[in-house]
Chains A and B, each alone.
Chain A
Amino acid sequence: MKNTASQAISAAGLALALGAALAISSAPLTAHAADNEKCFGVAMKGKNDCAAGPGTTCAGTSKVDYQGNAWKFVPQGTCAQTASPTSPSGFGQLEAFKEVKKS
């Protein structure tokens, strides 16, 4: 095995890190931390249905398609609200955002 970088990661270092991982992962999350990490996502839905769509007059017969200049839509959603490239993202690393099912 080659030396240099590989030498830097010693068996002792690995053992220390694994020991720490075991200790951290088996400690209970505080209620505060658990709350902070959770937020509500959209519940996944089954997509195979046997129902018909909204009628005759919608998308199916529309001739709107992407053919160069025929396209008439511009993005008009939340993308307009994002910050300029220079501002800080304001988002820390290793925060979890979980999907939580709504019942």
Chain B
Amino acid sequence: MMIALPVHDANSAPASRPRLPERAGIGLRSQHYQQVLDANPAVGFFEVHAENYLVAGGPFHHYLGLIRERYPLSIHGVGLSIGAQQPLDTEHLQRLAVLLERYQPQAFSEHLAWSSHGELFLNDLLPLAYDSATLERVCEHVDQVQTRLQRQMLLENPATYLEFTGSTMDEAAFIGEVVRRTGCGLLLDVNNAYVSSVNQHWDAQAYLHALPLAAVGEIHLAGFAEDRDAAGARLLIDNHGAPVDEAVWRLYAEVLQLIGATPTLLERDNHIPPLDLLVQEAQRAQRLLDASRPARQQASA
């Protein structure tokens, strides 16, 4: 099942591998296109959701093309449904390949989740049972993606709200195994790690330490909303609609202690504030990055 990829071929020069800068970036929103071009905000990179750009033409491509000329880019997929109990949609994968060819992003990432079933697209990142059947399937799909795209992909740890009785391994071990078997990188979403830890009553630090941290190629930070479950326990909702929580900032600082400066995205999908506020939040991450030791030479071995 393992497929040798150029990206983790021992003979390939690490310097030739496209990498995001070890700086703070923000999500690119259509409402900010013109302002980004006018003001050239001091961010390290922009990230876009792949599916928003799988349209034929028009302003989205126009602006992304102009902004790509000035900034490094991360393309973040939200619709590939890597965890689905059905084959990957090869047409969708083909569309992604065309998009990546066009914009040459420094990173491509997707989620450890599923979002499609049959013909239907549910538009949410749905949870997986962590068992051997799921592991085989996810690894097969990650292999398929990396082979088709001819690059390493980063897999993002999910925010979850419940667990499956049938899970036979914990999430960090599951992710570690996917990384080991496929050579993919980890997109470490620190907010997701915190949200899931609260929701599943895990020790967030222990969870982080159990992840394959050497494979982290990018970090996500975001805000959450707070709710309660049926027993009144805290239930955090990964709504990307608020500033990053202080608890998440503390975890982020700990992660940087462990792995050094790593490209970091401030995610905001709901209640989009003015560009200046997003840039300010990114600057807070940038200060932590500046204070941390230089990046590792290599994301994974």
Contacts and interface: CB of A to CB of B under 8 A. Distances in A.
A47 B59 contact: no
A16 to B, nearest CB: 35
Interface in A5-57: 43-57
Interface in B45-78: 48-53, 59-60, 76, 78
A45 B241 contact: no
Interface residues of A, number: 18
Contacts of A44: 30, 59
B38 A103 contact: yes
A46 B76 contact: no
A48 B78 contact: yes
Interface string A46-82: 1111111111110000000000000000000000000
Contact of A102 (B31, B123, B124, B125): B31
Q: Specify which of A46, A50, A54 lies most central, judged by the most chain B CB atoms within 10 Å of its CB.
A: A50
Interface string B219-250: 00010010100000001011111000000000
Interface size class of B (residues with CB under 8 A): 35 or more
Contacts, number: 73
Contacts of A57: 227
A2 interface: no
B51 A48 contact: yes
Given A56-B235, A103-B38, A51 B33 contact: no
A52 B159 contact: yes
Given A54-B239, A56-B227, A101 B34 contact: yes
Interface of A: 43-57, 101-103
Interface of B: 29-35, 38, 48-53, 59-60, 76, 78-79, 111, 123-125, 159, 222, 225, 227, 235, 237-241, 267, 269-270
